[in-house]
Structure 1
Amino acid sequence: MKEQLKEQIGNIQDNLWGMNKQLYENPELGDQEYESMKLLTAFLKEHDFTVETGTVHRQTAFKAVCKSGKPGPTIAYLAEYDALPGVGHGCGHNLIGTMSVGAGVALSKIIGEIGGNVVVLGTPAEETNGAKVPMSAEGIFDDIDVAMILHPSDQSYESGESLAMDAIQYAYTGKSAHAAASPEEGINALDSVIQLFNGINALRQHVTSDVRIHGIIAEGGHAANVVPNKAVAQFYIRANDRNYLNEVVAKVKNIAEGAALMTGANLEISNYELSYDNMVTNHTLSDVFTNNLKQTSKHPIHSEKKGSGSIDMGNVSQVVPAIHPYIGMNKAGLVHHTKEFADQTVSKDGYETLVSGALALAQTGFDVISDESLLTAIKEEFKYKNK
């Protein structure tokens, strides 16, 4: 049956490559991926998927479903297709989208024999305001048994961890005054932001080493001779675990409120982007994928990388067994979020990555559907880790 999947990928690989190049040549930013969504969903419709768009009230999100009409688990492949400003597809989301669509189409061709269902989810804006967050919260994964996504990289790595993250804005409002003639009449909002930074820097000594707190002054005044009546700081706050991250965020809130008391400014705290949970890899599912990738790719697969960034796939992994491995494009040291990375996705190595990645995803879906004991083991691990 896996040979049939290989044949199915062979039948569509040139179509997938054409879509990959079209996405590369026409990059669209998060929540603006209208043409990208149309491109991927049109191909899915051609292959008998039922497609709904506007999922979770995100206009460029979609859910594509192909049912076998027979009992069996539901396999979900997650497609990303947002680009980066000034860089284009410097994170390879053009490959992510086409690998997931290719895997979904290939697997759909054999579920009439083996049972189960295939879902391809279009998940916009991973780089900024990831749609997987509301999808996870609003029950999109309730009828899905496993979820998979495959990310291009310089080399291949097993699915690992990511950091939970909150994106928090601290906006201070003070009172304007002439900074030289009547400074005593003013309340300096910028001083509050500066004290916030100082307090956070003092906090760093007293949190675990996995915590990352990094921010900017988004607004700090307009003229040196005017006491700033408004100042805004934006921070990403990250940690290995969501529960500990919540503790750190509470400590930063106390610092922010203390900075307001020090100057007399008013403070408003808000989330300026959606929060991402930490990735919990299902290692039973990951091992199956790794074994399949070893058969489809000639490149070595390294152990999981230590999590240093944040991904909205983390939220998915909290509600359903999930993996987020990396597939290499045969260029060690290649850096994400660069033009060089984007260009590699449409190279000869990029073509091989697309074909071998889509096939490994499809074969892993087949393994889950056809082996009831494997699915049981996957779900048991999920219950243990996520209780």
Structure 2
Amino acid sequence: MARTLDEVHRDLRQAVTDRAGPLWDVALRLHADPEYAFAEHRAAALLTGELERAGFVVDRGVAGLPTAFAARSGQGRPAVALLLEYDALPGLGHACGHNLIAAAGLGAALALHAVLEGTAGCVTAVGTPAEEGGGGKAVEADAGVFDGVDAALMFHPGVYGWQWAPLTAQVQYKVAFHGRAAHPTGNPTEGVDALAALIELFNVLAVLGRRLPAASHIQGIVTHGGTATNIVPEYAEGRFGLRAATTRALDELTGRLREAAEGVARATGTRAEVERATVRYDHFRDSGVLSGRFAGHLAHSGITLTPPAPGVYLGSSDIGNVSTRVPAIHPFVAIMDEDGSDHTPEFAAAAASGRAREVLLAAAQALACTAADVLLRPGLREEAWAGHRAAAAAEC
């Protein structure tokens, strides 16, 4: 007799519980051995080894990234992707809790493989390196890793218990000014001061910043300002981080940066170069129907999620680039109280705490159950895709 969906959920929760010890061991091993963007070789080897031993077909080095992978159970459609992050922060280790993201995605994938045995479609555990600045998911999305996927699922540890993540779009640009060197006293009229132009750009952007909408800002640093105090700088360079609530607003802000740099160049007699310096992170588009399912399953473990506080934004992530292509979720589940913050030594310690262990197992169960809903309920898939298409149309 075929199992009901409730029975599948029960079996998935038990399958995660049965693996509680090994999953926590994976989380602690990652925590004790932090690796950074695109250099997470030991983490990728640990995770792919666990998946391969369980019977997954593992494809390493996907999207041309040595530490990325895709491990599949089953084939065809419907299909879900469980996203595993495992990079750490230089100097802070796993102060964003990616060790828990990886272990929870692993636990959900192993449970689905054991309970559904590849009979309900395809489950793929996708290793996504370099979330902290490198944009592994963006590279993977552009390479087609998420083509043919019906939902991309992950959770993120945090200081809030929020059903979905208010994540902005962001990118960094290099702005360089080219002038002409001269001695400031010997032949001052021959010089064209590139550093003065860069400083003027900071002034212009400060004025612009007072008129920007909520969630939009430009923050810059000087990366090259000259070579000696007795030489008028012929070259100066800055790097500017741009954020905005939506990808469209970010594109508009990028245009304002270009206009400001070109205007300063004309006014100062310099030549400006504006070049994108990083992968662009799109803003996150939540699949409300799927994040609602995750929250419902997480409540089974006694953890309640709420909508995010109005007007609050929590940075950016390359999950945004995935969410432009397929229905996606990225809920926050608290592992420490709201008076704390991630990207701190305290959060790194919390990512190896008893509370983190409880959250890891609860999140793995909720991810597995949500994935099963996508695989086994055609109506839910259709609703998720309809919402995804409607959100895309509203942004056009």
Fold shared per TM-score above 0.5: yes
CA contact (8 A) 2:72 2:125 kept: yes
CA contact (8 A) 1:153 1:334 kept: no
Partner Cα distance (1:264, 1:118) in 2: 58
2:21 to 1, 14, 22: 14
CA-CA distance at 1:72 after TM superposition? 4.8
CA contact (8 A) 1:129 1:273 kept: yes
Which position in structure 2 is the counterpart of 1:304? 308
CA contact (8 A) 1:135 1:141 kept: yes
CA contact (8 A) 2:80 2:150 kept: yes
Partner Cα distance (1:149, 1:310) in 2: 15
Q: 1:311-342, CA deviations, whole angstroms, 9 ceiling, x for partnerless residues?
A: 11011110000011011114332211011101
Which position in structure 2 is the counterpart of 1:120? 125
Which position in structure 2 is the counterpart of 1:95? 100
Partner Cα distance (2:354, 2:211) in 1: 48
Q: 1:155-178, CA deviations, whole angstroms, 9 ceiling, x for partnerless residues?
A: 321113311112111012222222
CA contact (8 A) 2:73 2:118 kept: no
Check 1:269–1:220 CA distance in 2 against 1; reply closer, same or farther (3 A cut). Answer: same
1:323 to 329, 333, 336: 329
Which position in structure 1 is the counterpart of 2:241? 236
SS of 2:117's partner is helix
Identity fraction in percent: 34
CA contact (8 A) 2:214 2:245 kept: no
Q: How does 1:44-193 map to 2 (within 5 A)?
A: 44-67=51-74, 72-112=77-117, 115-193=120-198
- Determine whether 1:35 maps to 2:39: no
Partner Cα distance (2:28, 2:172) in 1: 33
CA-CA distance at 1:206 after TM superposition? 3.5
| Aligned AA (2:173) | I
1:214 to 214, 219, 238: 219
Partner Cα distance (1:155, 1:275) in 2: 26
CA contact (8 A) 1:171 1:232 kept: yes
Partner Cα distance (2:68, 2:59) in 1: 9
CA-CA distance at 1:19 after TM superposition? 1.2
Partner Cα distance (2:133, 2:28) in 1: 23
- Determine whether 1:194 maps to 2:172: no
Structure 1 gap ranges (5+): none
Check 1:59–1:114 CA distance in 2 against 1; reply closer, same or farther (3 A cut). Answer: closer
Check 1:145–1:382 CA distance in 2 against 1; reply closer, same or farther (3 A cut). Answer: same
1:386 to 358, 371, 392: 392
| Aligned AA (2:308) | E
CA contact (8 A) 1:299 1:330 kept: no
Partner Cα distance (2:142, 2:392) in 1: 15
Tell me how many residue pairs correspond in the alignment.
384
CA contact (8 A) 1:66 1:119 kept: yes
CA-CA distance at 1:111 after TM superposition? 2.0
Partner Cα distance (2:171, 2:358) in 1: 36
CA-CA distance at 1:263 after TM superposition? 2.2
CA-CA distance at 1:104 after TM superposition? 0.9
Worse-superposed segment, 182-191 or 355-364: 182-191
Cα RMSD (Å) of the superposition? 1.5
Partner Cα distance (1:314, 1:210) in 2: 16
Which position in structure 1 is the counterpart of 2:3? none
SS of 2:19's partner is helix
Check 1:373–1:155 CA distance in 2 against 1; reply closer, same or farther (3 A cut). Answer: same
CA-CA distance at 1:14 after TM superposition? 1.2
Partner Cα distance (2:382, 2:282) in 1: 25
CA contact (8 A) 2:85 2:129 kept: yes
CA contact (8 A) 1:20 1:98 kept: yes
CA-CA distance at 1:198 after TM superposition? 1.2
Which position in structure 1 is the counterpart of 2:369? 363
SS of 1:303's partner is coil
- Determine whether 1:258 maps to 2:250: no
Partner Cα distance (2:29, 2:278) in 1: 29
Partner Cα distance (2:155, 2:372) in 1: 16
CA contact (8 A) 2:295 2:304 kept: no
Structure 2 gap ranges (5+): 1-7
Which position in structure 2 is the counterpart of 1:333? 339
SS of 1:251's partner is helix
TM-score by length of 2: 0.93
CA contact (8 A) 1:108 1:117 kept: no
2:354 to 348, 363, 372: 348
CA-CA distance at 1:248 after TM superposition? 1.8
CA-CA distance at 1:244 after TM superposition? 2.2
Q: 1:55-100, CA deviations, whole angstroms, 9 ceiling, x for partnerless residues?
A: 1111111111110x6x751111111111111101111111111111
Check 1:342–1:308 CA distance in 2 against 1; reply closer, same or farther (3 A cut). Answer: closer
